[in-house]
Amino acid sequence: MERKEFLRNLGAGAAFALIFPCVHGCSKDEESGEIKPVPDGVDFTIDLNSAEGAKLANNGDFVLKNLVVVAKNLEGAYVAASQICSHESYDQVRFIEDDGGIFRCNVHGSRFAQNGTPLNQVDSKTAKPLKIFKTELTGTMLRIFE
Residues that bind ligand FES in the complex, under the rule CB under 6 A? 85, 87-88, 90, 92, 105, 107-110, 122
Q: Which is nearer to ligand FES, 60 or 118 (CB)?
A: 118
Residue 87 CB, shortest distance to ligand FES, in Å, is 3
CB of 115 to ligand FES, least distance (A): 18
Q: Toward ligand FES, which CB reaches closer, 12 or 20?
A: 20
Q: Which is nearer to ligand FES, 65 or 128 (CB)?
A: 128
Q: Do residues 69 and 94 lie in contact, with contact meaning Cβ atoms separated by under 8 Å?
A: yes
Q: Smallest distance, Å, CB 28 to ligand FES? A: 8
Q: Which is nearer to ligand FES, 15 or 107 (CB)?
A: 107
Q: How far is the CB of 56 from ligand FES (least distance, A)?
A: 23
Cα→Cα distances 63→49, 81, 96, 126, Å:
14, 11, 12, 26
